[in-house]
Amino acid sequence: MKRILSGIQPSGTLHLGNYFGMMKPAIALQEVGECFYFIADYHALTSVHDATELRDNARDVALDFLACGLDPARSCFFRQSDVPEVTELAWILSTVTPMGMLERAHSYKDKVARGLEATHALFAYPVLMAADILLYDSDCVPVGKDQKQHLEMTRDIAQKFNDRYGETFKLPEPLIGDETGTVPGTDGQKMSKSYGNTLEIFGSEKALRKKVMALVTDSTPIESPKPMENSTVLALYRLVADDADFARMEAEFRGGGFGYGEFKQRLFEAIWEIFAPMRAKRAELEREPSYVEFVLRKSADRAKRVADGVLARVREAVGLR
């Protein structure tokens, strides 16, 4: 069985983009492989600088993932920092990583352009990501368009290490699933905490309704057909509605006679309904914090056993005893 690895940063409240872009596909992959999923709290240090916030965010991600269907009996689910061996591997990998490779990283340029401080950690982010992947002998990594370059860099780093020290690392393959596409935020851009345009799935009913009703739309009159291309309302409704309901909304966009307010109300109701069972499960888990911590610790022990074996192989290869 192939080992699949993925991680999610604890940098804020779970939103539709997180769920449909990463979490829903990750949970489905439990059926097809051995899944290692981690809460990337080391990575989050590049943007979260308050200790209490980071701990709370990590706890919330654990609750979110378990509430959304992650099965700890079938997946290894742990905090990145509970296996600190990843930082040693990142340092060793950095000795074979060319500066030019890091300077070409799109993610670094994008984050600095959005106002993040240009730290060494942000610049060397792809090396720690490579360590995350290689430390667990991962066979496959689910990737989207914005992550494809990072996996290519991981493969390049692993190959450079193998060329220098002998065959030590597997070269992980990208795992391309059904493309959801970019999940748009309330302003039509990609949904992202960085842009402040998210729709949280575990927020209050009132807050969610307010955000959905404030979605950016045009000024087309009620009686006129609505433009369908680049419609945020349609793109979001496609994710949460069944085929028949979505086809009906498309037809009503084309036919006219309906206002955006009605479409937004229908979108809100669909979002609220689809996540109702997950909200109930999350509330149940919040009452059992010791269980959530048990899951993370037990999985970290399992991940550490794998990591220790890989790191022993690496240390032997480079001459560390």
Q: Which of 2, 160, 170, 190 is catalytic?
A: 190
Residue type, 61: V
Annotated active-site residue 304? The verdict is no
Are 258 and 222 spatial neighbours (Cβ–Cβ below 8 Å)? yes
Q: Which of 193, 211, 226, 264 is catalytic?
A: 193
Report the C-alpha gap between 197 and 95 in whole angstroms: 39
Annotated active-site residue 193? The verdict is yes
Are 202 and 272 spatial neighbours (Cβ–Cβ below 8 Å)? no
Q: Cβ neighbours of residue 200 under 8 Å, at least 6 residues apart?
A: 13, 14, 15, 207, 208
Annotated active-site residue 190? The verdict is yes
Q: Which of 111, 211, 226, 264 is catalytic?
A: 111
Report the C-alpha gap between 212 and 261 in whole angstroms: 10
What stretches of 154-237 adopt beta strand conformation (E)?
173-175
Report the C-alpha gap between 296 and 301 in whole angstroms: 9
Residues acting as catalytic residues = 111, 190, 193
